Structures are given as structure tokens and as C-alpha cells.
Structure 1
Amino acid sequence: MESSVKPRRTRIQREKREIILEAALEVFSMHGFRGSTIDQIAEAAGMSKPNLLYYFRSKEDIHNTLLSRLLETWIAPLREIDAEGDPVTEIRSYIRRKMEMARDFPRESRLFANEILQGAPRILPMLDTDLKNLVDEKAKVIRLWMRQGKLVNADPYHLIFSIWATTQHYADFDVQVRAVLGPDRGGEGRFEDAARFLEQLFIGGLVPRG
């Protein structure tokens, strides 16, 4: 009877897979899943198509691997919201972490947006389970803060959605943001400016008056 345990990958195999995934991220974020090909990814990775297919079975295999990693990275800041922490501090930190992701992971953001726009055919099961369970958990935390009078009463789900939408805008529409801000305000400082504004927008609307 054959063993079902998969052999461990060597260091070189792991490195090759990472090279392929990095190249695929660049290709998918530019062309989307449908517009990308194995040949494009192989060329970007600097290897032949047969060599690439030794490490990944198909374009779908590469794409699914990227999306699985991406979803975990994307929801990590939400996991860090601490129910025992100060609500204003926790929400401000969450906004900051999401803005940092918009700044540091624009390709990953575009990859995720492309998948969602196509109806999330490859990650819908993860959205229905992992993401939903986490959002439900954090929504309960936010509701508790509201019942305690630490935040004004509001819909915690739409609060989370609004933070997603406003922060991810600076990744997905960065070209537009830089064009409108112009050369004087369109540099790296735009992310700090945006973070301060979003803190003011959300915190100002959530802190009870008086």
C-alpha cells in the first residue's frame, strides 16, 4: 500500500515555486485570470513552460495558490482587532493596517478585486466560511462596544465594508488618485494623508458626543 504522505519539497523546489508565484502575481494583476496564460507566466519567471508545469499542474493551480495566500493576508488585520482593547484604538489601528496593505500590496489587491468582479468562482467557499466567520466574530465585538456606550450605535457589518472600500480604493485606483492629487500631493505621503482623513472620518462618526 502506497503512503499518502507527500514528500517534503527541497529548498530549490520551494524557491522555484516562489519565483513562479511572484511572476504569476505580476501577470494576473495586469491581465486578470482569463487574460493570462501559462506562457506569459513562464516568460516572466524566466523558465520554460514544461519546467513551470513541473511545479504547478496548471494556470488554475497557480491562481488558486495565490488566492489562498492572499485571502489569509487580506483578512489578517481584521483578526488583530482585540476585544479587550480600547475601541477607538483598535479601529484606528485597523484602518492604518488596511492602508499599509493598500500601499504595500497593490498587485494582490488587484488580483483579489478581479476575482470578486468575476463572481469569486475560485474563492467563494472561503468567503462563505473563513471570511464570514471572522467578520461575524468581529461584528459581535463591535456590537458589544456599542452596547457598552463606547461607540455610537451603527451596523458593524457596513462599518467593516466601508473600511474595506475606502482603504482598498488607494490600491485599486492608485493611478487615478495620483493623477487627481497631482505631483505635489501624489507622492508617498498620499497614503499618510489618506490614513489621517479616514481616521477622522470613521472615528469622528463613531465616538459618542459628550
Structure 2
Amino acid sequence: MPGTARISRIRPGRRTDIRQQNERLILDAAERVFAEAGFGGATMQLIADMAGLPKANLHYYFPTKEDLYRRVVQNIFEIWLDAASSFDGAAGPVEGIGAYVEAKMDISRRHPHGSKVWAAEVMHGAPVIQDYLETTLRQWTEGRMAVIQRWIDEGQMAPIDPRHLLYMLWATTQHYADFGHQIETLNQGRPLTDAQWREATESVKQIILRGIGAI
């Protein structure tokens, strides 16, 4: 029965591939629908239609709308946390903050809908993800503040409040996602080109690094 053995070896991987593909379709669709309609206005049927999958598939992977919403928020949050790895082991603010700005600008370009979902959730008092803010985000913020304070103590940048520097970094880089329509409108109604994204990223990086006295 060599044929049967071969099929049994292939099927688990194939099932995994299908599951990952379906989850990706669902999450991409959910990001867009939650960004446009909000948690209250979004429905599992809308998300299923956007994903091109039966509604039953959504409930198979995500039993409730809140489960799916939390996964969308968790995804963008984890992507942002990965971007923050530039702080770890960086020699100073030029390397650490510079790389962080580059990573956050790239995320705003690649994941604008996820950023909008996060922004809307927080602006409404974080009714679903308050636990994220009180645990993971708080711990991450305190850790990055300590790194920035060390750079200040070493004389590598101006003595400013690390917390407000982080707020400025978030606000500036995420503006390009959350207010993407406004940016396109001011760009003759067209999305930023690759060259314009590179220019914007470099400008933001230079303005911030010069403002904190790192260069």
C-alpha cells in the first residue's frame, strides 16, 4: 500500500496549508471590514463576503465576531512589537529610533487597515482590548522608556521625556495609515509612490533624530 502511505504523509501538510490560507483570507477581509464599519457595524456575513468564503468557514476558525476582532487587533499589535526589536541591542538612538521609524512607516504602508482598527478601538475607550493596553503595551512602553533614558544618560540625545517621544513616534508614523485618505487627497488624489514613501520615511526619521539632538 505505498500509495496510501504517501497520501497519509501529504494530507496533514495540505490541511495546514489550507487552514493558513483560509485564516489569511479571513483576517485580511476582517481588517478591511472592521476598519471601514467598526466593530459594531461589522458582521460575520460581511467579512465572509469580502473573503469569498462561506460564513460557516468563519465560525469554524473564529467562533464569534469578538474572537475574530481580537485576533485582528492582536496581529497588528504583534507586528508593531516586532518592529520595536530595533531598540534591542541598538548602540544608540540613531540606530534604534532610526530603524524603528523605518519599520513603523513600512507597517503603515503594508497594514493600513489594521492600524485603523487599533486607532478606532482605542478612541472608543478600548472596550475589547483594554487588557492588552494594561499588560503587554504597558510593559513594552516601560522597557523602551528605559532604553531611551539610558541613551539620554549616556549623552547620546537631548534630555527629553521618553514617554512623550514614544507618543510622537506612534502618532507620526501611524498617521500615514490612519489618515491615508487625507494624504492621498493632498497628493493629487493618488497613493504615495515607492519614491514618495522613501522620501516620507527619511524625512520623518531626520526630523525626529535632529529634534532629539541625536544627529
1:71 matches 2:107: no
Segments of 4+ moved more than 6 angstroms: none
TM-score by structure 2 length? Answer: 0.85
In structure 2, relative to structure 1, the CA distance for the partners of 1:133 and 1:177 (3 Å cut) is same
Structure 1 residue 208, shift from structure 2 partner:
6.1
- Matched residue type, 1:146: I
2:41 counterpart of 1:35: yes
Of residues 116, 129, 152 in structure 2, which corresponds to 1:110?
A: 116
**Which among 146, 171, 192 is matched to residue 165 of structure 1?**
171
Q: Which residue in the other structure is 2:24 paired with?
A: 18
Name the structure 2 match of 1:205.
211
Distance in 1 between residues matched to 2:191 and 2:26, nearest whole Å: 36
Deviates more, 1:192-201 or 1:158-167: 192-201
Q: Following TM superposition, by how much is the alpha carbon of 1:182 offset from its aligned partner in structure 2, in angstroms?
A: 2.5
SS in structure 2 of the partner of residue 57 of structure 1: coil
Partner of 1:46: 52
Residue 111 of structure 1, CA deviation: 1.2
Measure, in 2, the Cα distance between the counterparts of 1:15 and 1:125. Answer: 29
Taking the TM superposition and a 5 Å limit, the aligned residue runs for 1:62-101 are 62-101=68-107
Structure (1/2) with the larger helix percentage: 2
Alpha carbons of 1:208 and 1:167: their partners in 2 closer, same or farther (altered >3 Å)?
closer
1:22 is displaced (CA, Å) by 2.1
Contact residue 184 and residue 190 of structure 2 kept, 8 A: no
Percent of residue pairs bearing the same amino acid type: 33
Structure 2 vs 1, CA of residues 189 and 178 (structure 1 numbering), >3 Å: closer, same or farther?
Answer: farther
Q: What is the distance in 2 between the residues matched to 1:184 and 1:160? A: 30
Once the two structures are superposed, what CA deviation does each residue of 1:156-182 show, in whole Å capped at 9, x if it has no partner?
A: 110011010011111111121122133
1:79 and 1:122, CA in 2 relative to 1: closer, same or farther beyond 3 A? farther
SS of 1:80 mapped into structure 2: helix
> Matched residue pairs, number?
202
Root mean square deviation of aligned Cα: 2.3
Task: Identify which of 150, 156, 167 aligns with 1:144.
Answer: 150
More divergent stretch after superposition (124-133 vs 154-163):
124-133
Structure 2, unmatched stretches of 5+, are: 1-11
* 5+ residue gaps, structure 1: 1-7
Tell me the TM-score normalized by structure 1.
0.87
In structure 2, the CA distance between the partners of 1:146 and 1:23, relative to structure 1 (3 Å rule), is same
Per the alignment, residue 5 of structure 1 pairs with: none
